[in-house]
């Protein structure tokens, strides 16, 4: 099993051969792009190699350093750390280490390969404390942690090259920023350092390369082999009229999905959420009980050993089918896989192509992905994704710009590693792409935050994290050091509890909020089994197997992916085709009855039109607006419109969004005309109004959760935490309130707001959308009942609220409604959980 593979990577003894002979011995001939990468490396260049997975990127980057070493005298002992290999997922690290170790002995290189991740055992850590291996495979978080040690500079002195694997996965995240800062540190120590990124092809590959290398360096861009041919098709529901419109799970298509799995040897079934993997796994198993033992589940909340086992079985080809989330998007090839099924919207072109690329690794193989729509409208998305993929319209990933929470963490890390002088560190930090425009004021604030806890004029008494001794910023307090090391990293996660059998045996983890709702005797599906909940104790949910059916499925809060700009625009085009009756793809043809109904009750909008539907139901007064800009931009638009509306009259609105549009729901009469709507959607004053809307819409509060954790504000609980640790746990919402009230100038608050604007609302996209809508023809309809387009919004349970009524008025209105309802024997009542 993988655990043993991880521990020791020893290649068998074989005669020493030349690199070309080694390739030939495997039946390979180096590709042109690999030769190109090796030459560039020899010339001292840095850059980015981009190609789809499974096309030889690893050795393109790795043989540069190997060829260089072969030209040198061979030492008798393995040399100190020389090649650092960063991977975004620790799950990938052991496979990567194995392929990096494979050629060493044959080439006669006396090198060793080691791993350093959160899973690395204490004994290995102790050894690495003395000496790091020649090639070290690690993650951005573990690298940042290694760099907090006082002797790091010495240990990294012999480093010549860094390879960042799957850079596209890190690029658009704070983990990418963490990587940028670590690379800046390493470049300061070794000015000649060569940095190479490996990436899938992106809409902005050149930007990706320059972010990796930092300011003032010119990256080499090397394009790998062309991708395999990709086929995108869908399971067409036999009867679209009866198809669920809402985001139900599309289980009606189970027979077709089972048939698709049956037609291949080994299939991956991707779903968009972890809950759905559990549901689909159960459904497929009950349809095909004979597949028990050849079926598995894979998602991020399952225990590592379970996941490792599943991956090994996939490689061995013993798996009929694995139901998974994006947890299997990355990583080494599962060659036996010949069928890929995507349940639910693919959300993006690149993502769908990457998943398709998981199949067809056999020689001459074709990548194929079959999409299973979970609502009828997703058929349009499949047709749109195919059109965009054929055109090569692949999404860009935008890098972060100066997130101060990550910088605050880096400052404490650097203070831990023997300390720093601010001017020197500032110069280094500004060489990164993320912080090139960092102002002196912002830098001063981050230093103050580390030393005093807040801005200099309002020093927080008794607070001490970083101390200044003769101009040197250091951490002396052992407790501070320990807590900081425990919280290094940027992945925000919900507080989670382990799931374990009473008899022992770990299954994985569920969120604390889910566990807290369970009562003894409740049965839930997890890791593909029905478990009976017994109790929660010490951050562990104790369970036993149950023979009865489950009555609940765990839900994991996770950001829901928005439809990408590329895909959203392709969807608008597809609808246009449909509205003109050009139903030439199987998806659009199948959708004809739904589109017909939409046209009959309301309208199928063309790209030049903006559709608004008004409707009154028992719940209140609905406006459905359909810009087709993806859910993030819609969240921003909904907040903007609701805010502007609330300025005109005291009103409380709830908002629901999806990828096609958004809904405003008012409890009291509301009917917006075209001129009202044009005023509410005016692009002028966008930024000021959006910022103002954030204060009421609670969105900044949500974003603050991540910012607060990265900056080290919120200390997450851990099993066995002492009482004193529990006394300093507070929700980030409380933090947000207390900061907003008593330290409103806090830059972390500002950052949270900025992140909402740029990341959540995609401000640029929002502005473009408003400009587009201004030129559009407004079509306002009053359909007799919810239309196919409106229905999914109507049933969306997750809602934002924005109010300009006083709290007391809201409560009185709600309680008065309740009184009325009670008189009429209706069912609504105040609810406690």
Partner 1 sequence: MDLLGQTLTLLPQRAAYWHERETLLIADPHFGKPEAFRAQSLPVPTGTTSAALARLDAAFAAVRVRRLVVLGDFWHASTSRTEEVLAELVAWRARHDELAIELVLGNHDRGVGRLPQEWDAVSHGGPVADFPFVFAHFPDPSDDGYVLCGHLHPAVVLTGRGRQRLKLPGFWFGPRVGVLPAFGEFTGGAVVSPMPGDRVFVVAGDQVVPVP
Distance from C-alpha of 281 to C-alpha of 277, rounded to nearest angstrom: 6
Binding of partner 1 by 639 (CB under 8 A):
no
Is 819 one of the binding residues for partner 1 (CB under 8 A)?
Answer: yes
Write down the least CB distance from residue 653 to partner 1, Å: 7
The DSSP bridge partners found for residue 116 are 138
Question: What is the nearest approach in angstroms of partner 1 to the Cβ of residue 769?
Answer: 25
Length of the chain counted residue by residue: 833
Among positions 28, 421, 463, 718, the unique one binding partner 1 when judged by CB under 8 A: 463
With CB under 8 A as the contact rule, which of the stretches 51-59, 121-129, 210-218, 732-740 interacts with partner 1? 732-740
- State which of residues 620, 682, 691, 750 lies at the interface with partner 1 (CB under 8 A): 620
By beta-carbon proximity to partner 1, the closer residue of 371 and 642 is 642
Cα gap 418→151, rounded to integer Å: 8
CA separation for the pair 615, 625 (Å, rounded): 12
Q: Which two tokens stand for residue 732?
A: 């980030």
Site residues (CB under 8 A) for partner 1, limited to 476-535: 477, 479-480, 483
Q: Which residue bears the tokens 């809409």?
A: 203
Please identify, using beta-carbon distances, which residue of 39 and 715 lies nearer to partner 1. 715
Whole-number Å distance between alpha carbons of 306 and 3: 12
Tokens of 397: 């990933």
Is residue 142 a contact point for partner 1 (CB under 8 A)? no
Residue number, 44 or 461, with CB nearest to partner 1: 461
Sign of CA dihedral 194, 195, 198, 202: negative
Q: Is 724 in the site for partner 1 (CB under 8 A)?
A: yes
> Please, are residues 331 and 91 in contact by the beta-carbon 8 Å criterion?
yes
Q: Is 653 an interacting residue with respect to partner 1 (CB under 8 A)?
A: yes
- Structure token digits, residue 199: 């990436």
SS3 state at 118: coil
Which residue from 3, 558, 1 is spatially nearest to 299, judged by alpha carbons? 558
Q: Which is nearer to partner 1, 111 or 739 (CB)?
A: 739
Q: Which stretch binds partner 1 (CB under 8 A): 71-79, 460-468, 528-536, 684-692?
A: 460-468
Task: State how far the Cα of 382 lies from the Cα of 376, in Å rounded to an integer.
Answer: 11
Minimum CB separation of residue 109 from partner 1 in Å reads 46
Could you tell me if 358 and 334 are in contact, meaning their C-beta atoms sit under 8 angstroms apart?
yes
- Residue ranges in 199-325 assigned as alpha helix (H): 205-213, 254-262, 274-287, 304-316
Footprint of partner 1 on 781-800 (CB under 8 A): 799
Report the residue number, 77 or 741, with the smaller CB distance to partner 1.
Answer: 741
CB contact burial 554-566 (16+ within 10 A = b; e otherwise): bebebeebbbbbb
Contact status: 825 vs partner 1 (CB under 8 A): no
For the bound state, the minimum distance from the C-beta of residue 792 to partner 1, rounded and expressed in Å, comes to 15
Stretch that binds partner 1, among 71-79, 90-98, 216-224, 823-831 (CB under 8 A): 823-831
d(Cα 731, Cα 736) in Å, to the nearest integer?
Answer: 9
Question: Minimum Å distance from CB 246 to partner 1?
Answer: 15
Count of chain residues binding partner 1 (CB under 8 A): 62
For residue 759, the 8-state DSSP code is I
Which of 4, 29, 727, 825 binds partner 1 (CB under 8 A)? It is: 727
Minimum distance from residue 724 beta carbon to partner 1 (Å): 7
Measured from the CB atom, the residue of 484 and 631 that comes closer to partner 1 is: 484
454 binds partner 1 (CB under 8 A): yes
What residues are paired with 302 via a beta bridge?
508
Q: How does strand 472-474 pair with strand 467-469? A: antiparallel
Residues 580-619 that bind partner 1 (CB under 8 A): 619
Asked if 513 and 482 count as a contact pair (C-beta separation under 8 A), the reply is: no
Candidates 191, 741, 784, 825: give the one binding partner 1 (CB under 8 A): 741
- From 377, 361, 407, 294, select the one nearest 590 (Cα to Cα): 377
Q: Which is nearer to partner 1, 280 or 445 (CB)?
A: 445
Tell me the two tokens of residue 227. Answer: 């991708």
14 lies in the binding site for partner 1 (CB under 8 A): no
Q: Return residues touching partner 1 (CB under 8 A).
A: 449, 453-454, 458, 460-465, 477, 479-480, 483, 619-621, 652-654, 665-667, 712-715, 724-725, 727-728, 730-731, 734-735, 737-739, 741-743, 746, 799, 801, 806-808, 810-815, 817-819, 822, 828, 830-833
């Amino acid at each position: 099993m993988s655990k043993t593979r991880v521990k020791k990577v020893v290649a068998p003894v074989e005669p020493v051969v030349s690199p070309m002979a080694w390739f030939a011995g495997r039946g390979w001939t180096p590709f042109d792009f690999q030769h190109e990468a090796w030459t560039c490396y020899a010339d001292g260049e840095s850059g980015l190699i981009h190609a789809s997975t499974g096309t030889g990127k690893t050795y393109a980057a790795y043989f540069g350093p190997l060829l260089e070493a072969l030209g040198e005298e061979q030492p008798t002992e393995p040399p100190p750390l020389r090649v650092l290999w960063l991977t975004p997922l620790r799950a990938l690290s052991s496979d990567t280490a194995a392929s990096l170790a494979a050629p060493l002995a044959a080439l006669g290189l006396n090198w060793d390969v080691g791993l350093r991740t959160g899973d690395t055992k204490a004994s290995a850590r102790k050894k690495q404390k003395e000496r790091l291996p020649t090639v070290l495979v690690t993650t951005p978080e573990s690298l940042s942690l290694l760099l907090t040690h006082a002797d790091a500079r010495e240990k990294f002195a012999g480093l010549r090259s860094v390879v960042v694997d799957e850079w596209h996965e890190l690029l658009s995240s704070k983990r990418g920023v963490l990587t940028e800062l670590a690379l800046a540190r390493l470049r300061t120590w070794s000015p000649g350092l060569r940095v190479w990124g490996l990436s899938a092809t992106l809409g902005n590959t050149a930007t990706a390369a320059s972010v990796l290398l930092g300011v003032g360096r010119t990256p080499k861009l090397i394009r790998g082999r062309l991708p395999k041919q990709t086929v995108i098709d869908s399971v067409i529901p036999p009867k679209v009229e009866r198809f669920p419109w809402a985001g139900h799970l599309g289980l009606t298509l189970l027979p077709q999905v089972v048939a698709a799995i049956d037609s291949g040897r080994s299939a991956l079934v991707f779903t968009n959420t972890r809950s759905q993997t559990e549901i689909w796994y159960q459904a497929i198993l009950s349809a095909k009980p004979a597949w028990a033992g050849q079926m598995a589940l894979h998602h991020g909340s399952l225990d590592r050993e379970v996941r490792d086992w599943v991956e090994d079985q996939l490689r061995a080809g013993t798996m009929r089918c694995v139901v998974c989330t994006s947890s299997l998007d990355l990583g080494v090839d599962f060659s036996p896989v010949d069928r890929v099924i995507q349940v639910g919207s693919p959300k993006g072109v690149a993502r769908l192509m990457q998943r398709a690329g998981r199949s067809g690794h056999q020689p001459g193989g074709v990548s194929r992905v079959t999409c299973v729509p979970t609502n009828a409208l997703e058929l349009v998305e499949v047709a749109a994704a195919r059109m965009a993929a054929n055109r090569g319209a692949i999404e860009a990933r935008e890098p972060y710009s100066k997130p101060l929470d990550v910088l605050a963490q880096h400052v404490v890390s650097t203070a831990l590693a023997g300390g720093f002088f601010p001017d020197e560190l500032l110069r280094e930090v500004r060489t990164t792409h993320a912080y090139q425009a960092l102002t002196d004021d912002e830098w001063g604030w981050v230093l103050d935050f580390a030393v005093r806890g807040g801005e200099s004029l309002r020093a927080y008494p008794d607070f001490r994290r970083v101390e200044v001794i003769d101009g040197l910023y250091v951490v002396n307090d052992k407790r501070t050091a320990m807590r900081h090391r425990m919280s290094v990293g940027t992945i925000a996660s919900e507080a989670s509890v382990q799931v374990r059998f009473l008899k022992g045996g770990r299954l994985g983890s569920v969120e604390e909020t889910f566990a807290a709702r369970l009562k003894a005797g409740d049965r839930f599906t997890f890791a593909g089994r029905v478990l009976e909940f017994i109790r929660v104790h010490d951050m562990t949910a104790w369970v036993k197997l149950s023979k009865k059916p489950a009555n609940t499925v765990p839900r994991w809060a996770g950001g829901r992916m928005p439809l990408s700009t590329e895909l959203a625009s392709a969807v608008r085009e597809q609808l246009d085709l449909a509205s003109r009756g050009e139903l030439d793809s199987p998806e659009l043809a199948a959708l004809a009855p739904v589109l017909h109904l939409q046209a009959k009750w309301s309208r199928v909008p063309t790209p030049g039109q903006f559709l608004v539907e008004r409707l009154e139901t028992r719940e209140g007064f609905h406006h459905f607006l359909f810009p087709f800009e993806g859910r993030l931009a819609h969240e921003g638009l909904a907040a903007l419109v609701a805010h502007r509306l609330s300025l005109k009259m005291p009103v409380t609105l709830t908002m629901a969004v999806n990828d096609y549009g958004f809904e405003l729901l008012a409890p009291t009469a509301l009917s917006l005309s075209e001129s009202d709507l044009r005023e509410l959607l005016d692009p002028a004053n966008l930024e000021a109004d959006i910022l103002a809307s954030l204060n009421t819409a609670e969105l900044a509060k949500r974003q603050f959760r991540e910012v607060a954790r990265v900056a080290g504000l919120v200390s997450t609980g851990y099993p066995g935490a002492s009482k004193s640790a529990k006394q300093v746990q507070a929700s980030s919402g409380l933090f947000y309130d207390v900061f907003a009230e008593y330290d409103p100038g806090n830059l972390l608050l500002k950052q949270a707001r900025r992140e909402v604007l740029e990341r959540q609302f995609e401000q640029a996209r929002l502005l473009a959308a408003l400009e587009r809508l201004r030129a559009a023809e407004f079509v306002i309809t009053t359909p007799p009942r919810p239309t196919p387009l409106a229905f999914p919004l109507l049933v969306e349970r997750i809602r934002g609220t924005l109010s300009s009524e006083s709290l007391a008025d809201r409560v009185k209105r709600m309680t008065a409604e309740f009184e009325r309802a009670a008189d009429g024997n209706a069912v609504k009542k105040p609810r406690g959980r």
